[in-house]
């Protein structure tokens, strides 16, 4: 499966950075570039890309405006590029697949591509899914020798990477799921769970306190008192998710 990608940013270096990252993925084909919203709108109508990386702030109409001017059924999958987390709410309004804060983190870029692959695969199996969000897991199957037990997603407080496993923290209990964190993240509802570190995911409604640290990291405290450190790479997206 190949995804046809349009790259939109008014900064040539930014477009080049996205192209360079996409070049490492054989299933991503860049079919065009644009430097402003008007050109992006015309290209989306003519080229009909599967996926668009689009900057929010550009001369003329911005990236969000360009997407909003297309009927929902004609919009490509969109990953927003922005230096400001406050655009997250409008991103949800145009059903953007993801938004990446500049400078773009490699892990977040890879996560966004995985979401695009998942959504396009679902759409190609059933075109009626074009307006649907990916299905999210409601529980996880945990194997303990000959026994199998299930953990409801609604009971999970936070999740940590443990090699090829993900550690699901439910109160004082830890359940080990044989699945890497980056794959598990694709099965979680992003309105409920957010990545705060390359090795940590937290449930948003469990966060009770956020404290800024001197190096732009943040210290989270959950409602049960558990402290977790959020990397500065993820802090802006975390704040936006908490606000929304």
Q: What CATH number did the domain enclosing 215 receive?
A: 2.40.50.1020
123 vs 230: which has the higher pLDDT: 230
Tokens of 99: 């938004």
Domain count, the chain: 2
Q: What CATH number did the domain enclosing 77 receive?
A: 3.40.50.2300
Of all residues in the chain, what percent carry a pLDDT higher than 90?
50
pLDDT computed for residue 38 by the predictor:
94
Asked if residue 117 and residue 34 are part of one domain, the reply reads yes
Q: Which of 5-19, 43-57, 137-151, 178-192 is predicted least confidently?
A: 178-192
pTM score: 0.61
| pLDDT tens figures, 174-212 | 999 998 888 888 788 877 898 899 899 999 999 999 999
Map residue 231 onto helix, strand or coil.
coil
Asked if residue 167 and residue 117 are part of one domain, the reply reads no
Asked if residue 178 and residue 148 are part of one domain, the reply reads yes
pLDDT computed for residue 131 by the predictor:
45
- The bridge status of strand 193-197 relative to strand 173-177 is unpaired
Asked if residue 169 and residue 80 are part of one domain, the reply reads no
Domain that holds residue 40: 3-131
Asked if residue 39 and residue 67 are part of one domain, the reply reads yes
pLDDT computed for residue 244 by the predictor:
66
pLDDT computed for residue 87 by the predictor:
61
Contact assessment for residue 46 and residue 34, using Cβ atoms and an 8 Å cutoff? no
pLDDT computed for residue 95 by the predictor:
67
Separation between Cα atoms, residue 213 and residue 61, nearest integer Å: 36
Asked if residue 84 and residue 147 are part of one domain, the reply reads no
Backbone CA torsion sign across 100, 101, 106, 108: negative
pLDDT computed for residue 130 by the predictor:
43
Asked if residue 8 and residue 119 are part of one domain, the reply reads yes
Separation between Cα atoms, residue 50 and residue 31, nearest integer Å: 10
Of 84, 102, 131, which closes a domain? 131
Maximum Cα–Cα distance for the chain, whole Å? 62
Asked if residue 19 and residue 125 are part of one domain, the reply reads yes
Contact assessment for residue 3 and residue 117, using Cβ atoms and an 8 Å cutoff? yes
Give the confidence band of 221 by pLDDT, cuts at 50, 70, 90: very high
Of 87, 107, 131, which closes a domain? 131
Q: Which of 44-48, 184-188, 207-211, 225-229 is predicted least confidently?
A: 184-188
Q: How many CA atoms lie within 13 A of 239 on its CB side?
A: 17
Asked if residue 218 and residue 123 are part of one domain, the reply reads no
- Residue 63 scores a pLDDT above 50: yes
Q: Which of 80-89, 125-134, 227-236 is predicted least confidently?
A: 125-134
94 vs 220: which has the higher pLDDT: 220
Asked if residue 114 and residue 12 are part of one domain, the reply reads yes
Asked if residue 23 and residue 83 are part of one domain, the reply reads yes
Give the confidence band of 224 by pLDDT, cuts at 50, 70, 90: very high
Asked if residue 150 and residue 112 are part of one domain, the reply reads no
Of 131, 156, 174, which closes a domain? 131
| pLDDT tens figures, 109-152 | 888 888 788 778 766 765 544 444 446 789 999 988 888 999 99
């Amino acid at each position: 499966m190949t995804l046809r990608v349009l790259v939109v940013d008014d900064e040539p270096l930014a477009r080049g950075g996205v192209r360079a990252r996409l070049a490492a993925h054989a299933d991503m084909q860049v079919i065009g570039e644009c430097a402003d919203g008007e050109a992006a709108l015309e290209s989306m109508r003519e080229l009909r890309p599967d996926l668009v990386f689009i900057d929010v702030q550009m001369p003329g109409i911005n990236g969000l405006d360009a997407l909003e001017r297309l009927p929902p059924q004609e919009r490509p999958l969109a990953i927003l590029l922005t230096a400001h987390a406050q655009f997250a709410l409008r991103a949800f309004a145009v059903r953007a697949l993801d938004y990446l804060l500049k400078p773009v983190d490699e892990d977040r870029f890879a996560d966004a591509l995985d979401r695009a692959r998942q959504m396009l695969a679902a759409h190609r199996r059933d075109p009626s899914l074009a307006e649907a969000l990916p299905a999210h897991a409601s529980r996880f199957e945990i194997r303990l020798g000959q026994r199998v037990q299930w953990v409801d997603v609604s009971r999970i407080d936070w999740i940590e990477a443990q090699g090829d496993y993900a550690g699901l923290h439910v109160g004082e209990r830890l359940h080990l799921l044989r699945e890497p964190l980056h794959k598990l993240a694709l099965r979680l509802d992003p309105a409920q769970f957010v990545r705060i570190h390359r090795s940590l995911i937290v449930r948003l409604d469990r966060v009770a306190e956020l404290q800024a640290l001197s190096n732009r990291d943040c210290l989270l405290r959950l409602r049960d008192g558990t402290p977790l450190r959020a990397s500065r790479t993820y802090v802006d997206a975390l704040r936006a998710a908490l606000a929304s």
